[in-house]
Homo-oligomer: A and B are copies of this chain.
Amino acid sequence: MAADQLLLSAVSLISALQLGYLARCVGRSRLKHNISPPTTTGHAEFERTFRAHQNCVEAYLPFLVTLWVSGLFFHEGLAALGGLVFIFARQMYFNGYVTSAKNRLPGFYLTLAAWLTLAALGTVGILHHLLDEYLDINLRKMLFKS
């Protein structure tokens, strides 16, 4: 089992390390602007950094689930590639958001595109398997007659 889903596991690990890194950025922003926990307001840059991280945390779970479902039920390599794009987009989003609220948008749209792709691949993969398993309908055969 260990060597299965190696690519999905590698991408998941990279994304976990990224979340750890972003949490550290928030901590450093606290020090820079002298904002001690549990306070979460007090300086515009810190507030943007804080929310950028929060947003990444929120986005992370739907990301991981769609990464794995699309990887297991559609295509592992494609899912892993989509995952790398997502991670890159999240970094763009975070870095942009720290400078200004408007600058979060390019990364946000790329995140969205990557996530919707993973979600679509996962949905197709799951439907394909559900139809095959419970209704004995094989989508691939129907579409390609082979």
Contact = CB atoms under 8 A, between A and B. Distances in A.
How many protomers of this protein does the assembly include?
3
A130 interface: yes
A126 interface: yes
Interface string A6-45: 1001101101110110010000000000001110100000
A60 B60 CA distance: 11
A136 interface: no
Nearest to A70: B13
Interface stretch (A51-59, A82-90, A138-146): A51-59
Contact of A15 (B23, B40, B53, B65): B65
B38 A51 contact: yes
A57 B60 CA distance: 10
A73 B10 CA distance: 10
A129 B15 CA distance: 18
Given A3-B133, A16-B62, A62-B19, A9 B51 contact: no
A137 B123 CA distance: 36
A94 interface: no
A47 B38 contact: yes
Max chain B C-beta neighbours (<10 A), residue from A3, A16, A50, A51: A16
Contacts of A19: 58, 61-62
